Chain A
Amino acid sequence: MGNVLVFIETTTTGETKSSAAALLGAAAGLGTPVAVAAVPAEAAESLGRTLATAGAEHIYLVTVPEASSELGTAAVGALAQASEEYAAIAALLPHTNDSKNIAGRLAIVRGGAVTADVVALRMEEDEVIAEHSVFGGDYTTESTVEEGLMVVTVRQGAIEARAAAVTNPSVRLEELRIKTAPGAKIISIEPVTEESERPSLLAARTVVSGGKGIGSRESFSLVEDLADVLGAAVGASRAAVDANYVPQALQVGQTGVTVSPQLYVALGISGAIQHRAGMQTAKTIVAINNDADAPIFDIADFGVVGDVFKVVPELIEAVKAQES
């Protein structure tokens, strides 16, 4: 089995971010997972334990000063070094703003090629095959990389596989040796604390979204109330975001987040093509809208033509009754 590098995103103090477990799970399905990170030396021991539990057979850590001052540079170097040392067949990174920067730079440094925004990975006749969901899930494509390191960015929340814990992984602490392009200078890192107890959009089993039909920022609490009774994440259409009902981070669609939950509930959303591109692969779609001709009904498994301000409060009560 070949070695598969997994880039571990870490906080400034060297703790893993949420992507680690899924990436190690995906790597274990392809070969031997090698976790790679650039962290302060004092964080190495605790990070090693976490990564072993999440399924890393080998752990390759490049140590950096705590206040690392260049965006991504140490990570690119760490992955480039590890890909040589472990003769890696692929490197998996999360498809996030910071890791995409690392992935692109790594492909140039190592003369590899990339396959981006991947939703599934498998091994087929000694080749790593990556699956993509294109044009909002209208198409599925498969790709691989020939003759070089395959650098893969993996869509957040797409991989369900998890690797078995490893009891005695090999751990290496290394210095940064490979020289790459300079990174942008980091001036500050401001933590963003999650205010809500709700699941994140990408991880949620159920998503309840509101659109222009919700009418105002104040009445968006209707969407939140239904989300809470369903244990769901809250989303929104671009129209609702543009009207300032909710922050842009909640936008579902072509230019926002793409979700694929078990249940998607669209409230007061017409279902423009750009919105459908972000949610049409949901297992079950429910829509409530007062416009009987809204395109959302063309893809809804259960559609209610009616007033959201009447139907949703009744639905909340009915769901509570069903659950008790």
Chain B
Amino acid sequence: MKIAVLMKQVPDTWSDRKLDLTTGQIDRTTAEQVADEINERALESALRHKDQDASTEIVAVTMGPTGAQAALRRALSMGADSAILVNDPSLAGSDMVRTALALASALRDIGPDLVLAGNESTDGRGGLVPAMIAEVLQFPHLPAVDRVEISDSQVTGQLQVEGAVVSVQSEYPALVSVTEQSAEARIPNFKGIMKAKKKPLDVKTLADLGIDVGPGAATAKSVMVGATERPPRNAGTKITDDGTAAQQLAEFLSSRRLLQNHQ
């Protein structure tokens, strides 16, 4: 079976993440750029299947600037067989539909039985790209599944919706997006890191993919029209408990009308 796993390079959530206020885009110069944890979980699900069936081929795919190769190297060091970076200057600042169209073209060339993705990146948190790719490729989509079971003939998963848990299933080809409840990702070992350096990592431009999703091509597009930074939050009163702290706090809540009898 051939499994394609979508990766993304994002600012580390443990760092102070910044937006460029003139473009509304992520400022990639401030925070450390790392492979998004959610995609590593998707990759882990693929790797567990490969552990069972060594004939499984795993291709890691991302779209982004040249630096996004680091996320792919990480995937290769965890155990993916090869990687593809879709990189084209005209894709900078792409909205979700354009991103999905470009990734879908790359995936079409790969011809996977199964595409695995994270349910939403930690930076954009839109969570719509997997569904878009599924629709473009005409693959059934198992969205936001907490657990994924990959067998030779079908894939199964469970997603949480309001008031229920839904079990869904598909034969191949299919696209599955996983939540952070899914498989905990393995840490690459030294051997994996050394091996990764020799694994193929191809960079493809839009011309290579034979598509034009540049600014001229898409008719509808999502555009950013404003970005502002929230003023920093300041510390207020801070007391050390001397036996009266609870009383003082209750009075504070009452004075701000935050107790139930004020509601």
Q: Which residue of B lies closest to A140 (CB)?
A: B228
Query: Does A319 count as interface, using CB distance less than 8 angstroms?
Result: yes
Contact with A along B231-261 (1 / 0, CB 8 A): 0011111111100011101111110101111
Contact A97 B143 (CB under 8 A): yes
Residues of A within 8 Å of B225, CB to CB, are 129, 142-144
Query: Does B54 count as interface, using CB distance less than 8 angstroms?
Result: no
On chain B, which size bracket covers the interface?
35 or more
Contact with A along B132-143 (1 / 0, CB 8 A): 101111111111
> How near does chain A come to B115, taking the closest CB pair, in angstroms?
13
Q: A139-B227, A148-B219, A302-B237 are in contact. Are A315 and B246 (CB under 8 A)?
A: yes
Contact A188 B166 (CB under 8 A): yes
Contact A322 B250 (CB under 8 A): yes
* Interface SS majority for chain A: mixed
> How near does chain A come to B255, taking the closest CB pair, in angstroms?
10
Q: A9-B162, A184-B170 are in contact. Are A111 and B258 (CB under 8 A)?
A: no
Contact A301 B236 (CB under 8 A): yes
Contact A116 B245 (CB under 8 A): no
Contact with B along A273-310 (1 / 0, CB 8 A): 11001001100111010001000011111111111001
Residues of B within 8 Å of A314, CB to CB, are 245-247
Q: A97-B143, A181-B135, A185-B168 are in contact. Are A142 and B128 (CB under 8 A)?
A: no
Interface centre among B140, B143, B234 (most CB of A within 10 A): B143
Contact B236 A300 (CB under 8 A): yes
How many angstroms from the CA of A109 to the CA of B71 in the assembled complex? 31
Among A101, A186, A318, which residue has its beta carbon within 8 angstroms of that of B131? A101
How many angstroms from the CA of A307 to the CA of B243 in the assembled complex? 11
Contact A190 B165 (CB under 8 A): yes
Residues of B within 8 Å of A70, CB to CB, are 140
Interface centre among A229, A280, A301, A312 (most CB of B within 10 A): A301
How many angstroms from the CA of A311 to the CA of B221 in the assembled complex? 53
Contact B222 A187 (CB under 8 A): no
Contact A318 B235 (CB under 8 A): no
Among B17, B96, B163, which residue has its beta carbon within 8 angstroms of that of A138? B17
User: Which of B59-67, B153-161, B189-197 is the interface stretch?
Assistant: B153-161
User: Which of A11-19, A32-40, A59-67, A212-220 is the interface stretch?
Assistant: A11-19
Contact B246 A311 (CB under 8 A): yes
Q: Which residues from 167 to 191 on chain B have a C-beta closer than 8 Å to any C-beta of chain A? A: 167-170, 174, 180-181
Q: Which residues from 109 to 155 on chain B have a C-beta closer than 8 Å to any C-beta of chain A? A: 119, 122-132, 134-144
Contact A273 B239 (CB under 8 A): no
Among A11, A109, A146, A205, which residue has its beta carbon within 8 angstroms of that of B221? A146
How many angstroms from the CA of A288 to the CA of B238 in the assembled complex? 10
How many angstroms from the CA of A113 to the CA of B217 in the assembled complex? 13
Q: Which residue of B lies closest to A139 (CB)?
A: B19
Contact A286 B249 (CB under 8 A): yes
Contact B14 A139 (CB under 8 A): no
Residues of B within 8 Å of A205, CB to CB, are 263
Query: Does B6 count as interface, using CB distance less than 8 angstroms?
Result: no
Residues of B within 8 Å of A230, CB to CB, are 258-260
Q: A139-B19, A286-B253, A323-B259 are in contact. Are A105 and B132 (CB under 8 A)?
A: yes
Q: A108-B132, A144-B223, A145-B220 are in contact. Are A185 and B140 (CB under 8 A)?
A: yes
Contact B221 A104 (CB under 8 A): no
Residues of A within 8 Å of B123, CB to CB, are 135
Subset of 6 A-B contacts with CB under 8 Å: A76-B135, A104-B129, A135-B123, A192-B160, A302-B237, A322-B254
Nearest 8 A/B pairs, CB to CB: A148-B220, A104-B131, A306-B241, A314-B246, A318-B250, A116-B126, A104-B128, A301-B236
